[in-house]
Structure 1
Amino acid sequence: MRFEKWHALGNAYVLVEQPDAGALTADRVRRMCNVLTGIGSDGVLEVVSRQVARAELRIWNPDGSNAEMSGNGTRIAAAWLLRESDAAEVEIDVGGRVVRSARTGDRVRQEIGDARVGADETLEIPGERVTAIPVDVGNPHVVVRRDLLSRDDLLRVGPALETHPRFPGRTNVQLARPESRDLVHVLVWERGAGETSASGSSAVAVGAAAVARGWCASPVRIAMPGGELLVEVSGARVVLTGPATFVCAGTTML
């Protein structure tokens, strides 16, 4: 099987184009993502079908589960399809949610669609009660504002909220520290992947929450350990802009 490896601010994905939608299994994905047994990545992007400038995408987490949405994953798929099709704009369909994307300089601008910010919720986790902001970006997120960010805090709060009874299907978690009216620093705990250097859908969730709560005004720069993404919020509609970088191509028998 031929593959390409890409990354978006250090968030690595393996992209495969398969004529048979059933060619990948959870076990195969786990082997491919494991650096000791396979290629090593934070997930797999399976191009189920494509027609010139439109592709249907299935997103796999490294634990073999499927993700409903990924900002970084769809941006990588868009960058790949923009190259393959030589089109000015492409569409990536993930479970019926269509993300329209185009090049803007060396970055990709994505019309993500709606991000729905819920009411604040107080949730009990070991050691504290946290004020959580649920955000639906096509996949579930919960944003927690912090005055200080630390990796130890993320490693404690992230898994506790991911598997909290409030989220029976699990959730992505973001710890957010607003720095100014246009900048938020963020640490990400990704459902099915754990600590992540960057996440596009997490950036969208934080940007939408920051504007909704009045922490920031659009556009908002979301600074993660891997780098920055730009989030533009207009009502519920969100546009995400960031890089997608080709790493290598190869074949695997996994």
Structure 2
Amino acid sequence: MNGRFSKMQGLGNDFVVIDARDAPLAMTTARARAIADRHSGIGCDQLILIEPSDVADVRMRIFNADGGEVEACGNATRCVPLFLGRDVRIETAGGLLEARLTDGGATVDMGQPRFDWDAIPLAYAMDTRDMPVGWDHLDHPAAVNVGNPHVVFFQPGMTMDDAARIGPVIETDPLFPARVNVNFAEVERADRIRLIVWERGVGLTRACGTGACATAVAAIRRGLARGPVTIVLPGGDLVIDWSPGASIRMSGPAAHVFDGTADWTRF
């Protein structure tokens, strides 16, 4: 069963994008993990399936490199209008999203963030603006659901090595029954935040669009920043704008890398 795919990336966060609107492709955890493998597969951070939708222009399904299906991916969402060549309304497991082409990328309406403890979800009730919990020297994070679950630490001086050590511990902590994306943020100015992300099911990543959204929202909610906020990631910058009660708007680059053909029965 041969099929075409496109390799795309946003700030170095890379994707295998498969158009399954006319030729459905059954996707399992094992198949997604095999395609994402950088040594024996095509290689990517996330596998993206574009499928028909009854409520939007297309449905986007997202599989992390470990094969697990997840609700949202901001960088992948910016790639969808570029892949289709037009502005698009996208159905995701995390909700309906609007993505509009811009020069060199896209702007995405990511919907409204959720803050209730059981919407994150957390294992038990607590204040998600300033959580009374900690790991090592990291404490009092914020939690935000932006289509998928995030915890945000405001901690200056964190390195990639630090994030690689503590990230998987926090991701799999029983406090987070669906696991969690872990963000390590340093507020440089009210309109600029430096960010490292340990992504659930992926690990350290050069960029995470939903992490940038969650971090900006958490910082604005605490009075540490004001929108629009430039989020500086290892792969480049994203601009996030949000005010309480409004939807999150994320703007940033996306690029087509190459096209290919694969025999999906080999995965």
* Other-structure match for 1:196: 205
**Cα RMSD, aligned residues only:** 1.6
Could you tell me which residue of structure 1 aligns to residue 40 of structure 2? 37
Distance in 1, matches of 2:94 and 2:129, equals 26
Kindly indicate whether residue 67 of structure 2 is the aligned counterpart of residue 64 of structure 1: yes
CA change 1:120–1:180 in 2 (3 A) is same
Pairing 1:248–2:246 present: no
Structure 1 residue aligned with 2:97, among 96, 99, 115?
Answer: 99
Q: Secondary structure at the match of 2:35?
A: helix
Preserved CA contact (<8 Å) 1:45 1:77: no
CA–CA distance in structure 2, aligned partners of residues 80 and 14 of structure 1 = 11
Amino acid corresponding to residue 227 of structure 1 in structure 2: G
SS in 2 for 1:204: helix
Change (3 A) 1:152 1:30: same
- Give 1:232's match in structure 2, choosing from 213, 216, 241: 241
Provide Cα deviations, 1:173-228, integer angstroms capped at 9, x if missing partner: 00000001100000000000000000100000011011111111110000000000
Structure 1 pair 119/194, CA: closer, same or farther in 2 (3 Å)? Answer: same
- The normalised TM-score by structure 2 is 0.88
| Unmatched runs of 5 consecutive residues or more in structure 1 | none
How far apart, CA to CA, are the structure 1 residues paired with 2:208 and 2:152?
13
The 3 A distance-change label for structure 1 pair 106 and 124 is closer
CA distance in 2, matches of 1:129, 1:75: 32
Kept in 2: contact 1:55–1:91 (CA 8 A) = yes
Q: In structure 1, what is the equivalent of residue 223 of structure 2? A: 214
Q: 1:20–1:48: 8 Å Cα contact kept in structure 2?
A: no
Question: What secondary structure sits across from 1:159 in the alignment?
Answer: helix
Q: Which has the higher strand share?
A: 1
User: What SS does the aligned partner of 1:122 have?
Assistant: coil
Q: What do the CA deviations read for 1:4-38 (whole angstroms, capped 9, x no partner)?
A: 00000000000001246552211111111111111
Q: Distance in 2 between matches of 1:143 and 1:215?
A: 13
Post-superposition offset of 1:50: 5.6
User: Which residue number corresponds to residue 28 of structure 1?
Assistant: 31
- Corresponding residue for 2:145? 136
SS in 1 for 2:185: strand
Native 8 Å contact 1:62 1:192 kept in 2? yes
Aligned to 1:47: 50
Does the CA-based 8 Å contact 1:50-1:56 persist in structure 2? yes
With over 3 angstroms needed to count, the CA separation of the structure-2 counterparts of 1:30 and 1:96, relative to structure 1, is closer
Three-state SS of the structure 1 residue aligned to 2:242 is strand
Aligned equivalent of 2:121: none
Structure 1 Cα separation of the partners of residues 170 and 132 of structure 2? 11
Percent identity reads 35
SS at match of 1:252: strand
Q: C-alpha separation between the residues in 2 aligned to 1:20 and 1:103?
A: 26
Residues 143 and 174, structure 1, Cα contact 8 Å, conserved in 2? yes
